[in-house]
Amino acid sequence: MLRIQTIRRLSQLLIVNYPRSLCLTTTINYSSFKFPLFQKQTRSTLAIVHDRQSNEDNNNNDDNQKPKHFQLRWDLITSILVLLGIEDSSSDDRPKDSPLILAIKRGILAKQRKQHHYAEMLLHTALKMAQDLSYTDAETYIFDVMADNYFEKGDYKRAIDLYLEVLTRLSKREDFTQDCEALIEISIKLSYCYGQLNQPDSAEKGFQFSIDTQLIRTDTFFDDRNGELRSIEWLNNDEQRNSLALLGMAYDYYSKHLEKLSSKLLDRALIYRTKALKISIIVNGNEHQQTLILENDIADLYARMEKFNHAKRYLRNAIDKAQEMQLIDLLPILYMNLASIYCQNNRPDLAKKYCHQTMDIVSKWPKQSSNDKFEQLLTEKERTKLMEKCELCLNGQRFY
């Protein structure tokens, strides 16, 4: 199945500005600062995936056996932006964008468009400008965006190096604490990187640290056991919403880590992905694209466990909402995933039906994504491969 994976970082909407008063004030003894994780050093369905982002250069040797990975985004305000005192670009009283801010914005836009090499060039230019201006906070932010660029590209080793650089810089700030959300967000991504590089012990420590910290932070307003808010009033509190989204992001990536480790861990992966889904419904709403993506990914797990009725139920639910919202970037992937499930369930007639629907949408797509809200989900190369899989399906050949 195709899998959509993401973290929705609002860094795309926010810009670097001169530092303001910070919300984190507790100080720590830096000499004693230690974090256990940070030491330098074939599925049956297609996957929709800020990963499941797989490195195309290294992992596409067998397109019929390996899933395509796309990017999934959690709607959270990037914690490092809060820590560094970065303002919302929609502010009416902000100054006109400087060349530095424009360079950063262009780098982020290129990253969103999956033009990772171009994004790297732009961000290196922005970094040089920040260094010339001795703007340390901007340097740190750019390193973080560069790390995300490598993360999304699937270059996990380089992503780790840059995330560690960001952590080193943040840990020297007086307003940095061992449980601040800037650290937690980086911890989640580092943990996933370590898992992708076959360092499961480091990944496990990092994920448990991140989840435990966010469970403590959200315990006053979120009942994790039942997956619900303790009071509806918390929905209007942005700080709590962001903390809860970060917990959902941790659950989501931990689920991905578990399913990669072993097929014997699919049950556990399903538990954590379901937790992530419940949080997404609370934070984003039942019809948000993040929620639909998680429903797709839960269907993927059920399909791998050969529980096809459960898989079809989640996919049909996601398809109904995607149709209602006209998410034409998402619909063909959901249709193709449903086709793969019907094919595995010995219903080639229905599989071909959904392949035809996939091809009908993709053939009408412009080269650029038509849904700005969802950004560009598929590159031209990925769309071509999607059409090739449809052809295999229609010819009665294995495509999943």
Residue type, 244: L
Report the pLDDT value the prediction gives residue 104, as an integer from 0 to 100: 93
C-alpha pair distances (Å), 38 with each of 27, 146, 167, 170, 186: 20, 18, 9, 14, 10
Cα–Cα distances in angstroms (integers) from residue 176 to residues 85, 135, 206, 264, in the given order:
12, 18, 18, 39
Q: What is the pTM of this model?
A: 0.78
pLDDT value of position 18: 25
Give the contacts of 309 (CB within 8 A, at least 6 positions apart): none
- Each as own residue / partner, the long-range contacts of residues 59-68 (CB below 8 Å, 24 or more positions apart, any chain) are 59/154, 63/385, 63/388, 64/392, 64/398, 64/399, 64/400, 66/42, 67/1, 67/2, 67/3, 67/43, 68/2, 68/3, 68/382, 68/385, 68/386
- The pLDDT value given to residue 319: 97
**Residue 174: predicted pLDDT:** 87
The predicted pLDDT at position 191 comes to 98
Q: Which residues of the chain have pLDDT under 50?
A: 5-73, 75-77, 87-92, 94-95, 369-375
pLDDT for 139 equals: 95
Q: What is the pLDDT of residue 152?
A: 94
Domains and CATH numbers, the chain: 3-284 (1.25.40.10), 285-400 (1.25.40.10)
Instruction: Give the C-alpha separation, 144 to 163, whole Å.
Output: 6
- Are the beta carbons of 159 and 150 closer than 8 angstroms? yes
Task: Give residue-wise pLDDT tens across range 306-315.
Answer: 999 999 999 9
Tell me the C-alpha distance between 217 and 125, whole Å: 38
